[in-house]
A and B are shown apart, each in its own frame.
Chain A
């Protein structure tokens, strides 16, 4: 690769002997190499879920079967799909043309580093699609494919069934985390190639169920788990009871309140999955505090009950349909702006796509924190603010009364979630909030955090159970850094601001670093925040004794 050799050295090493097409090192020769291995792939989308969304070719199929039950003209559909997208998305066209295969990205992908599978090098994953593009859409390809050895020379290949299966296998071994793009000298966003690849696969009905069913649920019911409004409210009511038991204060939220200042939307994982549930309790405590002290009027919605957007992993159109619900609800309720919970990919959707999909949201106001007067110009068009920006602002202005000692059992580090970190540059705020809530904080090594953060290995819809080997292999680089700070500084808690992370990193810890557990940032806030009129707390939000209390 380019970082190993100077140009002169590289030229010296060129082997001028022609290769035969049967040579085993020809990676483009896929017929022998595609093995769809259990543990590495997710189950196929259920036909009912594909039907709900009106997406094509809904049928039961199995990736390990020879016959994928594709439409007869699947090649034509894909060809037209590629053509249309090359015309529509300039980035896609550039990313197909511009790569020089320098290899700078090759060893930057957590899936490559963890699985050791060369086709998980971002450059090779992208080449799966790029080779088809070269073959069918470039002049050189059209000429060269007629000559013997011409395809090989150009790195082109035909769109065969094996090539298709390989694309499916590897585009669902990418979490669209964009770490590779940080190192690309051309700034190629390899995640966008995966996004486009998956969108194309969806044209012939090749989605996975861990994405298709949550999308269908979200479209029909409002959240990924398909939890209906009354059950959503039941869960929050239950949190309210728990908080009252711990603090003595009733933190009941408001739902669908017309004319509220702020609509709060969070991923449903915070409401329905541990340990996100404790983060959710943190939000409830914060909103109660702000209501009592400053009269802030926040409403929840059982209609816009999902901040996450698995449509993002399906197609641009599907992403747009799901994203629209939050804005429709904000319009209906007449709120001033939207506050978003601790979520990962939701923020890439908001920050990078919302504005051109459903924006500008000019029926709302540019978000201003009514308590501090801070104007969030970064959200001037989308009107949506990340809760760690909001809370960090409150802390900075001394508006929150926090008792750090209640988190004294936590020795923290922070995992930058890929999308908030690389997708919107949210690096300092979560750290600022954590440091205001706990005393002991240690960073993981610099090449594993901030812009260079390693993915949890389960993002972009890959947080299923059946692909556990893939997830754990992909999690290795993150776990390796966590284990280091655990051994060196005694870190016992991994903080994070993403619902998928809260679930996925918990499993990562169980396999790789069982001494660590995962906590959302607002769980720490919820523990530390001193509510007006609260009783003396003896338990944290997990109903475990507070530090110091257990000894009494």
Chain B
């Protein structure tokens, strides 16, 4: 199966990329799906690179951690966009249908399991990004403004450092 994925990588990537970009509203997908400069179209570029990394990774030996790392850039974007949690990671499942045309019948269950594994990694990463966002919401103003007052000795209570443990502030 890994060989088949490797051999058909470009075709799989193209189809998967388009399926992912088509989760955006039509007018936006036209722009984001263009192969333009990666700085003029970060969503398109990062999505493509991320999916490419995943497809490369799954032909090698990999663990969930590696998958999460490869998925992080695209999930990090989708976690702050207008998707509900299901829609944010649904693009992973599109790979099942896309794979059906190239993966041999005998391998298809194995392939589905691989996609499930990618989906679980995506779910983990999505939750991590959402937690990052909530943490930023909860602590941003305290860290920026309260911290300055704390240093000046104008207020005194448990510091953010104490409350957050070793989390970088």
Chain A residues close to B by CB (< 8 Å): 1, 25, 27, 37, 39-40, 106-107, 112-118, 121, 225, 231, 234-235, 238, 272-274, 277, 445, 447-448, 465-466, 468-470, 472-473, 476-477, 480-481, 484, 503, 506-507, 510-512, 514
B133 touches A468 (CB 8 A): yes
- Determine the distance from Cα of A476 to Cα of B153 in the docked complex, in whole angstroms: 36
Give the residue of A27, A39, A277 whose beta carbon is less than 8 angstroms from that of B148.
A277
Shortest Cβ distance from residue A322 to the other chain B in the assembled complex, whole angstroms? 20
B143 touches A473 (CB 8 A): no
A476 partner residues in chain B, CB cutoff 8 A: 42-43, 77, 80
Interface pick from B20-28, B61-69, B106-114, B119-127: B20-28
- B3 close to chain A: CB less than 8 A: no
B140 touches A465 (CB 8 A): yes
Interface size in chain B (residues, C-beta < 8 A): 39
Chain B contact residues: over half helix, strand or loop, or mixed? helix
Please judge, given known A-B contacts A448-B39, A468-B137, A480-B39, whether A272 and B80 are in contact too, CB under 8 Å. no
Please judge, given known A-B contacts A116-B25, A272-B145, whether A469 and B39 are in contact too, CB under 8 Å. no
| CB-nearest residue of chain A to B151 | A238
B148 touches A273 (CB 8 A): yes
- Determine the distance from Cα of A112 to Cα of B147 in the docked complex, in whole angstroms: 33
Shortest Cβ distance from residue A1 to the other chain B in the assembled complex, whole angstroms? 8
B154 touches A231 (CB 8 A): yes
- Determine the distance from Cα of A393 to Cα of B68 in the docked complex, in whole angstroms: 50
B136 touches A113 (CB 8 A): no
Give the top 6 A-B pairs by smallest Cβ distance, nearest first: A238-B152, A118-B27, A480-B42, A472-B80, A116-B24, A469-B80
A506 touches B144 (CB 8 A): yes
- Determine the distance from Cα of A510 to Cα of B137 in the docked complex, in whole angstroms: 12
- Determine the distance from Cα of A37 to Cα of B25 in the docked complex, in whole angstroms: 16
- B18 close to chain A: CB less than 8 A: no
Chain B residues close to A by CB (< 8 Å): 24-28, 30-32, 37-43, 45-46, 76-77, 80-82, 132-133, 136-137, 140-141, 143-145, 147-149, 151-154, 168
Shortest Cβ distance from residue B138 to the other chain A in the assembled complex, whole angstroms? 8
B148 partner residues in chain A, CB cutoff 8 A: 235, 272-274, 277
| CB-nearest residue of chain A to B45 | A480
| CB-nearest residue of chain B to A508 | B136
A115 touches B31 (CB 8 A): no
A112 partner residues in chain B, CB cutoff 8 A: 28, 31
A465 touches B145 (CB 8 A): no
A116 touches B43 (CB 8 A): yes
B147 partner residues in chain A, CB cutoff 8 A: 274
A117 partner residues in chain B, CB cutoff 8 A: 25, 28, 82
What are 12 residue pairs bridging A and B, where the CB atoms are less than 8 Å apart in the complex?
A: A1-B31, A37-B82, A114-B77, A121-B27, A225-B145, A272-B149, A274-B145, A447-B37, A468-B133, A473-B80, A476-B43, A480-B38
